[in-house]
């Protein structure tokens, strides 16, 4: 957002107030009418949010992926697997530390989906549900030589501070879609509906998509433009 928003603010002559929280908290704020729009990455919750009448004009505008991280020693033996749920199962059976965000964020929802796909309900001293953001999770997993799931962009921006390595990637279920959704002005008349629509249109425009594709950290492109006209 610090990279993208100045371009939009200059074009529209407005100021965008960004509240950085996980997707679950963002949708909760939106359900109370406390924000004008959300940028989130939890498709199932987004669809429910729209179906329940809280959101309109949902547009998927960029994508990256999730990766499963762990120590070089890899005591669970998951390195190179293409089955993310299978990797989770092996981590559980090994009793190796797994650090969870536990905060209803998009990342946490993806983690819960993978445990369910593995047919497991994680519990025990090895499973560390800390209820904090990705930075705290990465720090703890790093300190405990444990495992976690993370979006690739966050990992790449923090990689130099971590011993954790990408051990599992490439499973199609790890694709991570980001969408923008307006808060429904019929439900909350005070929201800035015209500006919200303008921001979503801009994110999906040729300029917005080009800027997203050009954003890098340490030589790595962090997101791929993903808007498809008509969707």
User: Which of 41, 42, 59 minimizes the C-alpha distance to 227?
Assistant: 59
**Which SS3 state, helix, strand or coil, does residue 95 take?**
coil
Round to whole Å and give the CA distance between 1 and 211: 11
Q: Residue-wise over 85-124: b if at least 16 C-beta within 10 A, else e?
A: bbbbbbbbebebbbbbbbbbbbbbbbbeebbeebeeebee
**For residue 226, what pLDDT band results from cuts at 50, 70 and 90?**
very high
**Which SS3 state, helix, strand or coil, does residue 166 take?**
strand
Tokens of 129: 């549900």
What is the pTM for the complete model shown? 0.90
Round to whole Å and give the CA distance between 227 and 9: 21
Residues 175-212: pLDDT tens digits? Answer: 999 999 999 999 999 999 999 999 999 999 999 999 99
Residues 147-172: pLDDT tens digits? Answer: 999 999 999 999 999 999 999 999 99
**Domains with residue ranges and CATH for the chain:** 5-63+175-225 (3.40.190.10), 65-174 (3.40.190.10)
H or E, element range at 2 = none
**For residue 105, what pLDDT band results from cuts at 50, 70 and 90?**
very high
**For residue 71, what pLDDT band results from cuts at 50, 70 and 90?**
very high
Under DSSP, the state recorded for 82 is S
Relative orientation angle of helices 43-51 and 23-31, to the nearest 10 degrees: 10
Round to whole Å and give the CA distance between 223 and 1: 13
Which three-class secondary structure string do you get for 27-39? HHHHHCCCCCEEE
């Amino acid at each position: 957002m610090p990279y993208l928003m100045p371009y939009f603010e200059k074009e529209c002559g407005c100021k965008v107030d960004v509240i950085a929280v996980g997707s679950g908290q963002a949708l909760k704020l939106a359900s109370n009418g406390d924000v004008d729009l959300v940028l989130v990455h939890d498709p199932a919750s987004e669809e429910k949010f729209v179906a329940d009448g809280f959101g309109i004009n949902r547009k998927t505008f960029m994508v990256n992926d999730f990766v499963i991280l762990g120590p070089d020693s890899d005591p669970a033996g998951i390195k190179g697997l293409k089955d993310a749920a299978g990797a989770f199962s092996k981590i559980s059976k090994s009793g190796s530390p797994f650090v969870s965000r536990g905060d209803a964020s998009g990342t946490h929802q993806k983690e819960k989906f993978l445990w369910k796909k593995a047919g497991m309900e994680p519990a025990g001293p090895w499973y560390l549900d800390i209820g904090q953001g990705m930075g705290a999770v990465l720090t703890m997993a790093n300190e405990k030589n444990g495992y976690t799931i993370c979006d690739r962009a966050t990992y790449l921006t923090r990689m130099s501070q971590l011993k954790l390595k990408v051990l599992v990637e490439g499973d199609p279920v790890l694709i991570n879609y980001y969408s923008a959704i307006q808060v429904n002005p019929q439900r909350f008349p005070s929201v800035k509906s015209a500006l919200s629509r303008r921001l979503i249109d801009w994110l999906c425009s040729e300029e917005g998509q080009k800027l997203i594709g050009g954003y890098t950290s340490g030589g790595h492109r962090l997101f791929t433009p993903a808007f498809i006209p008509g969707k």
